[in-house]
Structure 1
Amino acid sequence: MKLREVKVDGETAAAIRKGQPILPKDAVADPEMLGREGSLLKLIDPAGRYVATGYHGSQNKGAGWVLATKEGEQIDEAFFSRKIRDAIARRESFYEDPETNAFRVFNGEGDGIGGLTIDDYDGHFLINWYSEGIYAMRRYVHDALADLKAVRSVFGKKRFDSRGQYVEDDDFVFGDKPDFPILVKENGMQFAVDLNDGAMTGIFLDQRDVRKAVRDEWAKGRRTLNAFSYTGAFSVAAALGGAAGTTSVDLAKRSLPKTIEQFSANGIDYEAQDIVVMDVFDYFRYAKRHEKEFDLLILDPPSFARSKKRTFSAAKDYPKLLEDALSVTAKDGIIIASTNHAGFGMKKFRGFIEKAFKSAGRKYTIEREFRLPADFRTHRHHMESDYLKVAVIRTKG
């Protein structure tokens, strides 16, 4: 594929030479020079010297990604195959773990190609495409996966419409298409997943380490509330860890059958658990009125959500969420506060926690923090790639 020569400003050239993987939208004086999405770019500095080779693919604040910094390196099927094989080799310990068979095998810029991720669900691979630009090069990725013995089937989700949302489509690409849901293993737990039914699969793989810790360390004997419960994966972990009952709360109606499905996959009597379809903030008020208290609360809200009643933004509303959660938290309780918002770091998140507890007149200690698990490889020159922040908070009085 022919390279388009594109001049970037001096600041961007210096940042890319230091390792920055993203091409900012304001780095190019004339955006028309970028060509159509998927165009390969030869980036040069204001003096005309080579900086890097990348591609045009609009995503969030970026106009594209850097692929190579060695002039003359070819961006072709061999390039993609090498990157994907290297990434899979880095996950060797996951392939050797008999207790887990669902994990990320390629994590965008962390593995050398920004704009796509690839997950392995017991040999059924799922690609997420985050721009039309990287999707234009899908043939290279498909061919690379077709050459791997571990691949039983491949699915792909396009997540690049004008609002950054999932583009409805038939997600199946090739291979032996399974009957969904399929059961995958995670640290000995079982979860039902569907790779061909909308944007989500049924489980967020980046919370693997936290779920294990809930089961092994914090659930036993605790009344557990799983807010924004999605399909109830944290509730499953708590129940398997000996929780004194679980309550799963989510506004989405499909959370009820999906949570029943996850409990059933693990041999748990779902009728002995509480599954509530309700706005989480309304549930806090309901629980307070009925004098319900919980010893373990799991808060894992979306970064942004809108319902008929309210809009939630983690960047603005997380302190209020925590304060409301405290109203139903027992003394010496544990709150596992999590956010996947990429726009702020752990320091600011700690500030949210401090603000909430101060407002509620409660004291606390942060006993542990979690970031992304090892298979979610991040890029040290792109802070947004290290998005997950989890704090395990013990309340004091």
Structure 2
Amino acid sequence: MIDVILKKGKEKAVLQKHPWVFSGAIDKVKGKPANGDVVRLIDTQDRFMAYGFYNDQSRVALRLLEWNEDVQINAEWFRNKVAIAVKSRQELLADGTTNTCRLIFSEADYLPGLIVDKYADYLSLQILTSGIENNKATIINALQELLNPAGIFDKSDASSRGHEGMDASDGGVLAGNHPPEIVEVKENGITYGINIAEGQKSGFYCDQRDNRHIVATHAKGKKLLDCFSYTGGFSLNALKNGAAQVISVDSSALAIETLKKNISLNNLDDLRFTAIQSDVNKQLRRFKEESETFDVIVLDPPKYAPSRSALDRASRAYKDLNRIAMLLLNKGGLLATFSCSGAMDIDTFKQVLAWAALDAGKEVQFIYQFCQPEDHPVRSSFPEGEYLKGLLCRVM
């Protein structure tokens, strides 16, 4: 195994078991490891620190896996990590009301660059690091042995793979059968038809499961606007919980079509629901011009800040989006607003909302703080894994 020497003074994060070592923290590489190889990280005194995946194409040159020198990083190590992750989600799926969740969440489950989502009898994989790519066969075999899925489908994101110098994934079936055009899944007793092959990201945003339920408890008898509705998670929960009216807005024709089908799947196809295919920012301004108001508004936009360098621009976008939403709420109305940008922490998000409230001439109370659910755990040594945050605001 090739040794990689850490620069003097860069030991603290490694000793605290943070899994990332940036290229600038590396002093020397004793040899020429291939990208994705497991290497041995040592300090300048030749003392062992950790094992990790190496990649000289990535800013994160080492993704650390194991801090015990006596543990071998082999096929059995990967099978064990997969098994631990899958077992930790069993209780979530036990009562039968939910059969979709995230089974493996990258660094949080000690498998950096691997995301596995379960959709009923099918699994969706995102392989985003060269180290995981090198061990793909072992991981797929482990998932087959543990879960016996009907099929395993590749949903690796091409742009993320590019950061590791990897070619775009061809997609397609990795094992078993190709999923049907629509796979029906259940979440909190609600049925969703999702397109794994063509849907966004891995096919369905299961990270909002708990938050959809929480927002729905405030929707009974209310008029709710669901922005960036995708295939209708917040909309369906609100309708099921007795919302008086739900308007869903998304720019994707496929998302709106799927949302309408999901309404029918749950026997909620009635006069309380309207779907609008439109750019959300333009539609919000249209509502303002038409003096339309709402009791509850949900804002669940895409990632505005993919990195810290984009944070200022993203903050302005979040502020403008939330400002116009605040102007559309009836007095005392509720705004459920989210950010999935890992670069934006909750304190910054609160500040952005404070600026939005000031510009809108509104007083705002934060009455609940949303987070990601238990199948998206945050590892104590890797706070960067906490990407989803949100606030339920009362707008006065």
TM-score by length of 1: 0.91
Secondary structure of the 2:260 match is: helix
- Select between 260-269 and 144-153 the one with higher mean Cα deviation: 144-153
Aligned to 1:105: 103
The answer to whether the Cα contact below 8 Å between 2:4 and 2:28 also exists between their aligned partners in 1 is no
Q: CA deviation at 1:368?
A: 0.8
1:393/1:88 CA distance change after superposition, 3 Å: same
**What is the CA-CA distance between 1:376 and the residue it aligns to?**
0.8
Look up the match of 1:395.
Answer: 395
Within 5 Å, which residues of 2 pair with 1:274-289? 274-289=274-289
* 1:39 and 1:133 in contact (8 A); partners too: yes
Is contact 1:40-1:55 (8 Å) kept? yes
- Structure 2: segments with no counterpart, 5+ residues: 307-311
Q: Residue by residue, what CA displacement relative to the aligned partner does 1:82-109 show, whole Å, maximum 9, x if unpaired?
A: 0111112212211312211111111111
Is residue 195 of structure 2 the alignment partner of residue 228 of structure 1? no
Contact 1:222/1:296 (CA < 8 Å) preserved in 2?
A: yes
1:62 is matched with which residue? Answer: 60
SS of alignment partner, residue 142 of structure 1 = helix
Q: Hey, what's the Cα distance between the residues in 1 that align with 2:18 and 2:42?
A: 15
Per the TM alignment, residue 36 of structure 1 is displaced from its structure 2 partner at its CA by 2.9
Distance 1:379 1:219, change over 3 A: same
Distance in 2 separating the partners of 1:304 and 1:292:
26
Q: CA deviation at 1:63?
A: 2.2
Aligned residue type for 1:47: Q
What per-residue deviation string (whole Å, max 9, x for no partner) do you get for residues 150-193 of structure 1? 43321222223437999463331112444231111111011112
Q: Partner letter of residue 118 of structure 1?
A: V
Deviation, structure 1 residue 313: 5.2
What is the CA-CA distance between 1:198 and the residue it aligns to? 5.2
Alignment CA distance shift 1:32-1:272 (3 Å): farther
Give the partner amino acid of 1:318: Y
Which segment is superposed worse, 156-165 or 242-251?
156-165
Count of residues in Structure 1 that have an aligned counterpart in Structure 2 = 389
With over 3 angstroms needed to count, the CA separation of the structure-2 counterparts of 1:125 and 1:220, relative to structure 1, is same
* Identical residues among aligned pairs (%): 27
CA distances 1:294-345 after superposition (whole Å, capped 9, x unpaired): 1110001111399xxxxx9534421111101112111111000101100121
Q: Retained in 2: the 8 A contact 1:38–1:135?
A: yes
Report the CA distance shift for 1:249/1:149 in structure 2 as closer, same or farther (over 3 A). Answer: closer
Q: Cα gap change, 1:150/1:174 in structure 2, threshold over 3 Å: closer, same or farther? A: closer
Give the conservation status (yes or no) of the 8 Å contact 2:250–2:277: yes
| Aligned residue type for 2:7 | D
The 3 A distance-change label for structure 1 pair 261 and 61 is farther
SS, match of residue 225 in structure 2: strand
Equivalence for 1:309: none
Relative distance call for 1:239 and 1:198 in structure 2 (3 A) is closer
Query: Match for residue 273 of structure 2?
Result: 273
Q: Cα gap change, 1:108/1:58 in structure 2, threshold over 3 Å: closer, same or farther?
A: farther
Q: Which residue of 1 aligns with 2:360?
A: 360
Residue of structure 2 equivalent to 1:174: 175
Residue 41 of structure 1: aligned partner: 39
The residue aligned with 2:134 is: 136
State the one-letter code of the partner of 1:203.
F
Q: Deviations over 1:198-236 (max 9, x none)?
A: 543442010000111122x11111111111112222111
Quick one: distance in 2 between partners of 1:255 and 1:163? 28
Structure 2 CA distance for aligned equivalents of residues 126 and 176 of structure 1: 12
TM-score, length-normalised on structure 2?
Answer: 0.91
Cα distance in 2 for partners of 1:25, 1:271 equals 57
Select between 173-182 and 273-282 the one with higher mean Cα deviation: 173-182
Contact 2:334 2:395 in 1 (8 A): yes
Residue 189 of structure 2: aligned partner: 188
For residues 228-274 of structure 1, give each alpha carbon's deviation from its aligned partner in whole angstroms, at most 9, with x where no partner exists. 11222211111112112111112223222122122122122167522
Provide the residue aligned with 2:125 in structure 1.
127
Matches of 1:369 and 1:38, distance apart in 2: 38
Superposition RMSD in Å: 2.5
Residue 207 of structure 1 aligns to a residue whose secondary structure is helix
1:27-63 residue CA offsets vs partner (Å, 9 max, x unmatched)? 2246896733211111111122111000024797522
CA distance in structure 2 between the aligned counterparts of 1:122 and 1:59, rounded to whole angstroms? 36
